[in-house]
């Protein structure tokens, strides 16, 4: 899409979000006197709307507000405007919540009644924190750190630095939990559009009929339920980055529409006539091999090449096991801080077990396990015995469990029974994964369509 290079429309704009009129006035007067450009919002919802139109340098938000409170607003900003620091204003007595906000990534908090100098100093620091050069942006944000020193990760960092600040469309591929979303955010934060919005849409999670209006918006009355005009994600992402997650899930029909938009660099809202042009950087992601999809005829080849301008493949954790100890240490720290615990380390034997685990859910799975271990830890060291059996690797393989426990089976019979069970399970899982699409399920399972249909009859599986 159109790319305008570096821009800095907001010199030192501070968005003040406060529900009390008088307080808003006081803050405006005080901050304007200091030379800031002040924008006012009366609650979180109002702030979200204003940020869509005009990003600001820093947000100063009250905690207690009607409709959307400061905490929810903080979460929204972290998600959609990760480069904007948020300073929380809180009444004396709700400091606990303020500390909670710090843990969630707020820049700092100030208690009311506040000391003017204190507030001004904090805001100055917050503004300053955004004055990094683009490479460093987000470096202070713990939750945006990318951990890993393995060769494939080093290569990814190199690519991020090279392509972040270009208008090039990027296609991120990799298994579930490998860090695609994290990398998409890193790319946004290291581009000159980092103060613009980062808009995420998970194409796989939206009902097929709604994808078009979610992406392009709709006019009032365009279809039943369209009670008011609504901008789509392309419009919301104007001046920033649009992250099209699980792009492999969109229908053929939507693929055609998306291709058209990418070629024309413009679109219309559903039910609308006006042509809308936006300045958006696209990052698409898929945990399926899109090229396989092209070969199977599920994904349009022309759209694939439009998206695949700059591919970044994020490898699964099992091919970069040397990153596991770093990740474990990082997550231990993270959950210690979050849960107020003091787990110092993993016993060597426990770490070795973690290193040799296959991690089908990749980093997300490892992260969840470390969180569980920190919650359950009874001392400063996590021992091998604390690990779940499947991670320790000493469990009877699940597939053999239950065999021959009730009756004595011959080896042949036992294998036959288990094969049947496994086969039925895999087929039914593939069918539900591909929503009953036999062609795709067959391709996924590596069997012919006819073969799959026979098995389905055998096991009484309907699509
Ligand atoms: N290299 C990394 N360093 C630190 N944390 C990471 C790293 N990679 C992933 N994570 C964390 O693992 C979790 C999963 O990552 P993310 O959501 O980016 O994966 P994904 O590839 O988008 O997965 P999915 O395909 O299932 O959406 C997140 O909490 C993320 O912060
Ligand atoms: Mg993801």
The C-alpha atoms of residue 63 and residue 238 are separated, in whole angstroms, by 28
Closest atom of ligand 1 to CA, residue 323: 1
> How are the residues of the chain apportioned to helix, strand and coil, as percentages rounded to the nearest 5?
50, 15, 40
The candidate with the shortest Cα–Cα distance to 359, out of 368, 350, 347, is: 368
Tell me which residue has its CA closest to atom 16 in ligand 1: 179
> Which pLDDT value is given to residue 447?
84
Q: Is the CB of 248 under 6 A from ligand 1?
A: no
Q: What is the mean pLDDT of residues 249-265?
A: 92
pTM for the predicted model, two decimal places: 0.71
The answer regarding whether domain 330-392 maps to CATH 1.10.8.60 reads yes
Q: What local confidence, expressed as pLDDT, does residue 130 receive?
A: 75
Regarding the beta carbon of 293 and ligand 1, being less than 6 Å apart is answered no
**251 half-sphere exposure, CB direction, 13 A CA radius:** 11
* pLDDT value at 351 more than 90: yes
Predicted confidence band of residue 376 (pLDDT cuts 50, 70, 90): very high
Q: What is the mean pLDDT of residues 46-53?
A: 88
pLDDT at 436 over 80: yes
Q: What is the average per-residue pLDDT within 108-133? A: 86
With cut-offs at 50, 70 and 90, classify the pLDDT of residue 138.
low
In terms of DSSP bridges, do strands 230-231 and 217-218 run parallel, antiparallel, or are they unpaired? antiparallel
Other beta carbons within 10 Å of 462 = 8
Q: Is 367 in the pocket of ligand 1 (CB under 6 A)?
A: yes
- The top-level CATH class assigned to 407-458 is mainly alpha
DSSP 113: S
Tell me which residue of 307, 39, 422 sits closest to 299, measured CA to CA.
307
Task: Tell me whether strands 86-91 and 241-245 are parallel, antiparallel or unpaired.
Answer: unpaired
Q: What is the pLDDT of residue 401?
A: 53
Domain ranges across the chain: 13-129, 147-315, 330-392, 407-458
* Token pair of 408 as six digits: 């004595």
Residue 226: its pLDDT value, please? 82
175 lines ligand 1 (CB under 6 A): no
Which tens digits make up the pLDDT trace of 78-118? 888 888 899 999 887 777 888 888 888 899 999 888 899 99
**pLDDT at residue number 385:** 93
CA of 362 to the centre of ligand 1 (A): 8
pLDDT of residue 27 exceeding 70, the answer is yes
pLDDT band at 177 (very low <50, low <70, confident <90, very high): very high
Q: Is the pLDDT of residue 2 over 50?
A: no
pLDDT at 394: 66
Residue 35 predicted with pLDDT over 50: yes
Asked if residue 9 has pLDDT above 70, the reply is no
The answer to whether 294 and 304 are in contact (CB under 8 A) is yes
CATH match for 13-129 among 3.40.50.150, 3.40.50.970, 3.40.50.800, 3.40.50.2300: 3.40.50.2300
Q: In this predicted model, which residue has the larger pLDDT, 331 or 11?
A: 331
Mutate which of 180, 182, 318 for ligand 1 pocket (most atoms within 8 A of beta carbon): 182
Mean pLDDT of the chain: 87
Whether the pLDDT of residue 397 is over 60: the answer is no
Q: Is the pLDDT of residue 414 over 90?
A: no
Length reported for the chain: 463
Q: Residue 77 class from Cβ within 10 Å (0-12 exposed, 13-18 middle, 19+ buried)?
A: buried
Q: Three-state SS for 235?
A: helix
Cβ pair 136, 190 in contact under 8 A: no
pLDDT at res. 267: 93
Q: What is the pLDDT of residues 196-219, one digit of tens each?
A: 899 999 998 888 888 999 999 999
**3 state SS of 270:** strand
pLDDT single digits (tens) 291-302 = 999 999 999 999
Evaluate whether 330-392 and 407-458 have a shared fold: no
If we measure between CA atoms, which residue out of 192, 172, 194 comes closest to residue 80? Answer: 194
Q: What is the pLDDT of residue 250?
A: 93
Whether omega before 113 lies within 30 degrees of 0, making that bond cis, reads yes
> For the chain, give me the number of helices (H) and strands (E)?
19, 14
Q: What is the CA radius of gyration of the chain?
A: 26
Instruction: Give mean pLDDT, residues 136-140.
Output: 54
365 by Cβ neighbours in 10 Å (0-12 / 13-18 / 19+) ranks as: middle
Q: Which CATH superfamily is domain 147-315 in?
A: P-loop containing nucleotide triphosphate hydrolases (3.40.50.300)
Q: Is 179 in the pocket of ligand 1 (CB under 6 A)?
A: yes
What band does 402 get if pLDDT is binned at 50, 70 and 90?
low
Name the DSSP letter for residue 326: H
Per-residue pLDDT for 451 more than 90?
no
The predicted pLDDT at position 249 comes to: 92
- pLDDT score recorded for residue 408: 61
């Amino acid at each position: 899409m159109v790319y305008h290079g570096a821009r800095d429309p907001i010199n030192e704009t501070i968005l003040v979000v406060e529900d009390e009129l008088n307080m808003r006035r006081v803050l405006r007067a005080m901050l304007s006197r200091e030379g800031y450009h002040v924008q006012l919002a009366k609650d979180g919802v109002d702030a979200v709307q204003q940020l869509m139109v005009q990003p600001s340098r820093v947000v100063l938000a009250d905690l207690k507000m009607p409709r959307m409170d400061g905490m929810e607003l903080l979460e929204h900003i972290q998600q959609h405007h990760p480069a904007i620091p948020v300073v929380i204003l809180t009444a004396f007595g709700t400091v606990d919540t303020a500390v909670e906000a710090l843990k969630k990534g707020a820049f700092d908090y100030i208690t009311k009644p506040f000391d003017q100098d204190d507030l001004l100093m904090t805001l100055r620091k917050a503004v300053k924190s955004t004055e990094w050069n683009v490479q460093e942006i987000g470096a202070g944000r713990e939750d945006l750190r990318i951990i890993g020193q393995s060769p494939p990760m080093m290569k990814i960092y190199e690519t991020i630095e090279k392509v972040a600040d270009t208008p090039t469309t990027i296609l991120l591929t990799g298994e579930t939990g490998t860090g695609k979303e994290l990398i998409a955010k890193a790319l946004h934060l290291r581009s000159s559009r980092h103060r613009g919005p980062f808009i995420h849409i998970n194409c796989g999670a939206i009902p097929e009929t709604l994808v078009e209006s979610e992406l392009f918006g709709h006019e009032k009355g365009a279809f039943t339920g369209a009670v008011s005009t609504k901008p789509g994600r392309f419009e919301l992402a104007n001046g920033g980055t649009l992250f099209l997650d699980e792009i492999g899930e969109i229908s053929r029909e939507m693929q055609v529409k998306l291709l058209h938009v990418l070629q024309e660099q413009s679109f219309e809202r559903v039910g609308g006539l006006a042509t809308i042009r936006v300045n958006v950087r696209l990052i698409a992601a898929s945990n399926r091999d899109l090229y396989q999809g092209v070969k199977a005829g599920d994904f349009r080849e022309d759209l694939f090449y439009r998206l695949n301008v700059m591919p970044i493949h994020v490898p699964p954790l099992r091919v970069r096991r040397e990153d596991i100890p770093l990740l474990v240490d990082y997550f231990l720290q993270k959950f210690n801080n979050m849960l107020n615990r003091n787990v110092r380390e993993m016993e060597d034997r426990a770490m070795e077990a973690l290193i040799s685990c296959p991690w089908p859910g990749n980093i997300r799975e490892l992260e969840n396990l470390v969180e569980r271990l920190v919650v359950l830890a009874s001392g400063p060291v996590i021992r091998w015995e604390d690990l779940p059996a499947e991670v320790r690797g000493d469990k009877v393989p699940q597939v053999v469990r239950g065999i021959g426990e009730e009756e004595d089976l011959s080896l042949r019979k036992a294998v036959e029974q288990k094969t049947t069970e496994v086969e039925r399970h895999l087929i039914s899982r593939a069918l539900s994964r591909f929503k009953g699409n036999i062609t795709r399920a067959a391709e996924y399972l590596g069997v012919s369509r006819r073969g799959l249909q026979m098995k389905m009859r055998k096991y009484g599986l309907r699509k």
